[in-house]
Structure 1
């Protein structure tokens, strides 16, 4: 008997009609922005829950099964790295709208033995057979690389990042870390709300006329075998991914880049007219990276260097520190205005200076200097919007999942992993059960740009883990997923914690802003002022005041990222998760 890839393992009567609605489209009572959550007896009035506390370890991820798996690994004696690898494998099955072994990975962690923050760049390079001339020939009407299809695919770096981490910090056997994900992929697990929504959205995007994706049959076989994607609560299975995980579990991390998996990938791209080869995969290795740091009102905040955008957070905070944000008031128009202007200035530098350091020498020390921050902050006016922003004059010479784990030995790992936009490129190799990232879309195509496309080059990356220390001790492992929202969200979280002394969960639940506009690392111009997106929870008085300053306002539902965090206290941990996602934070 033919078995569906996903199926609802519920009584037959329930298949005919559901007892309860599972989406806003089905029930107008679920789409009421004027209705807010219930009242809490303590904590912030807008907070969705309190933080989870524990003595021995903690985990916060965007999927309940991933958090449970991480805690189980910790309880079995695994390190924070072991638990993070296990959680990421589960997320690749349960949250494929954001991550998977077809994507890249960046990490910062606190090494309790070295007593320092360690960085890892797990991003892959473009195929060596794909030339700049070919990319330009296939560019879209805006003159940038297409978001989907083989031109957008770069070598996936996630598995080698896991392997590099485990080789240095792992305690449990490598193969044990994949057993929960393999079990879920084989036995099935219910689809959670956000995944159901975004898989349906991906199906519409991948199958629309003119999508320019070489093949989508493999996606349909896994995610829509009968023409419909699963809904919230439907049980989903992915036996192809389970088999791929088994190959990696038994063969080690390099089994993804050498051998059967690599040969299958090469044959797939040859079949569809793509460019990635087994040689591209075999050449990939992660790189340990030295994080940069700035001090924000007594807290040392860390970021990874390019090709990541980690330094954007640090640049924003450096400029924000030049103003008394606390005195301006929590969720005030003044605090948001000054922070958004800092974002606009930092993002112009992002568009101009952020690229693969193997191809371009970024002036990192200058970008993170206090002198430069003061110079840029002087441009910000309290009573008007900067009409035009430019990158600084340097002295001569990257949808996503974020999760964090902490263990009994004091190791804290901040890890972010992504397929980039949505589920990725739309391309799934034959029988392997995962989708390739579309990170290669973030290259520029204009001559002279530091981020210009080249074979064997790493594209600009939006994904950034966050970390903070204080007095030489680990304080916070955190992140805010979601493209260019990531540095904007990280800066807001740090400001909420430091300037306004909010709790760990409250700092993430607080209403957010998200600014779109300015120049992109692809060379695209989104307009000088752009638009300021505000969540409905931002006070009406603040929204009116921002509009009076001239900000074009918009709500942008779903565009405010996803937050996870663990805070280290003496002898204990607090863990928080994102109310906008499906995740869970647990500690023990």
Structure 2
């Protein structure tokens, strides 16, 4: 009986506080973690020590960009499902221009990385692990570009926390245990083995939780960046010029040479020209308006526009009247996501190489047509639509869409109702981290850095773990003619920070880790706040549902039509109704993902930070 009453209270707390229940108000929800209230700044990320790095920068007078850069550097050093050879993508609100800026620091495919090459290796997709999975490093360039263009501090100041961590820090259990679990693969790569397995020959070869984990090679690499900055400053260069001098040393100097040497030694494709020619891109983000709120995402080299498409579709329904996580609500949102993600799977890719029909895809009229496809029962054979007429063009890929339709028509009941096995879930939910910062000057930063997670190939004696992002390409144009590998091309990634503006001011900054589930969780967090009035901490902890009716961007790129994961306190009458509507249901005790978010309280001039109770994510505010 106690469990029943607790469950009813939870439902009331999530769905009713903002509606004026007696004695209860917004902000009083009994969350598992407290709301972070701040007047001056907020710093939230995937690890407590990462948040501490951001707090230290804020305490020294840095702005939100400075702090975000320090947090990315720290979490990369701590291997929080990323490392220094990974990728960084960010949205930044600049209070001086009152505009949202997009940072594209995703590496690209190296020389020789073609469809033909991977097929010649007997592969159906680029590999998940190893040197042939690596795009060129993006995170160092992303950090230095953000800092040079929008920060206030020196690179030395911002890298100080990560350099101290590289000298040695007490490693957390999650990372240490990942090293031990993956040691068979790690032993294939000599430079990775040297770092990750300090106790070779013992029963446990990886560090133990709490052991001081030292990365001498990485410390030397970071020291070289600081050295390049100091030399430039001594030569009379400006702060910005000095940071870019460090940038050049990484991508064109001795660090680049060692990255290329060490990668090629282990079977990779990098050339020095690949690193020298790669550049961070500062871009215009995409956005849509949902009920007076402008929601910003990165361009279609990410999955971010799928959230925007979902919002456009859902604007045609009265979600609030359906009720939070009712059967009707779940069915409607699930199918809206299925429609948007089917478009993602087929149409999204690097706009520098192929022009996706984004005008049509983000058209409100196209969304209305897609919304008409949502019925009372789930359709496991939803496929990509045709947005070209909504931008006044003819679709050049109708033959490929027809082939996809024929393939979907042949799906059997057994294929549709497959279980969510461990490997599929591991691929689908491949993680990253997130970084959210804001300050009292008005700067806001939302980042999802990733790549180079354990097991990672370390590039020679640099201490830099390489990305595994090549696996997000496909090799069959029937799956997507927009996302085929070519040298210099960026894969379409799952990484997807978010910013929302209301009345010309920041409203919400939010991000999450979790592979293809990211924009699902972010969509539901946004709706939790906007439609159901939840405070930001309640919104991060609330029971989400996860769909697997879209192609995984990792591993074998599988799809599980109709599969849905609900939190295990979902009422049985809802699970039964969803099952009768064609859903294959699994129940988990946590479903919201490690969401991190900042809500802006303009009435009181303060920040509200939320960090879900899913994992190690942590925030500090002042």
The TM-score normalised by the length of structure 1 is 0.86
From 24, 29, 33, the counterpart of 1:49: 33
The 5 A counterparts of 1:74-93 are 74-93=58-77
TM superposition outliers: structure 1 runs of 4+ over 6 Å: 38-42, 521-525, 556-559
Note the C-alpha offset of 1:242.
Answer: 1.6
SS at match of 2:252: coil
From 554, 560, 567, the counterpart of 1:535: 567
User: CA deviation digits over 1:450-507, x for unaligned, max 9?
Assistant: 1111111111111011100101111111112111111101101001001111011110
Structure 1 vs Structure 2 CA RMSD? 2.6
Note the C-alpha offset of 1:184.
Answer: 1.7
Q: What is the CA–CA distance in structure 2 between the aligned matches of 1:471 and 1:291, rounded to whole Å?
A: 18
Aligned residues: 541
Note the C-alpha offset of 1:524.
Answer: 6.7
More helix per residue: 1 or 2?
2
Q: What is the CA–CA distance in structure 2 between the aligned matches of 1:89 and 1:531, rounded to whole Å?
A: 37
The 5 A counterparts of 1:54-133 are 54-94=38-78, 96-133=79-116
Q: What is the CA–CA distance in structure 1 between the aligned matches of 2:182 and 2:459, rounded to whole Å?
A: 17
Q: What is the CA–CA distance in structure 2 between the aligned matches of 1:374 and 1:244, rounded to whole Å?
A: 52
Counterpart for residue 147 of structure 2: 166
* Contact map agreement 1:401 1:481 (CA 8 A) in 2: yes
Counterpart for residue 147 of structure 1: 128
Note the C-alpha offset of 1:545.
Answer: 2.5
User: CA deviation digits over 1:376-421, x for unaligned, max 9?
Assistant: 1111112x1113111111323692111111122110011110017x
Note the C-alpha offset of 1:193.
Answer: 4.0
SS at match of 1:417: coil
Q: What is the CA–CA distance in structure 1 between the aligned matches of 2:576 and 2:606, rounded to whole Å?
A: 42
User: CA deviation digits over 1:70-120, x for unaligned, max 9?
Assistant: 1121121112111111111110122x1412211111111110000111111
| Mean Cα deviation higher: 75-84 or 238-247 | 238-247
Q: What is the CA–CA distance in structure 2 between the aligned matches of 1:68 and 1:519, rounded to whole Å?
A: 37
Counterpart for residue 261 of structure 2: 267
Change (3 A) 1:390 1:216: same
The 5 A counterparts of 1:2-41 are none
Counterpart for residue 219 of structure 2: 242
Q: Does residue 454 of structure 2 align to residue 423 of structure 1?
A: yes
* Contact map agreement 2:494 2:553 (CA 8 A) in 1: no
Note the C-alpha offset of 1:144.
Answer: 1.5
Counterpart for residue 181 of structure 1: 162
Note the C-alpha offset of 1:235.
Answer: 2.9
Counterpart for residue 413 of structure 2: none
* Contact map agreement 2:541 2:592 (CA 8 A) in 1: no
* Contact map agreement 1:351 1:523 (CA 8 A) in 2: no
Change (3 A) 1:156 1:563: same
SS at match of 2:460: coil
Note the C-alpha offset of 1:442.
Answer: 1.0
Q: What is the CA–CA distance in structure 2 between the aligned matches of 1:254 and 1:231, rounded to whole Å?
A: 37
* Contact map agreement 2:447 2:497 (CA 8 A) in 1: yes
Note the C-alpha offset of 1:44.
Answer: 7.1
Change (3 A) 1:195 1:579: farther
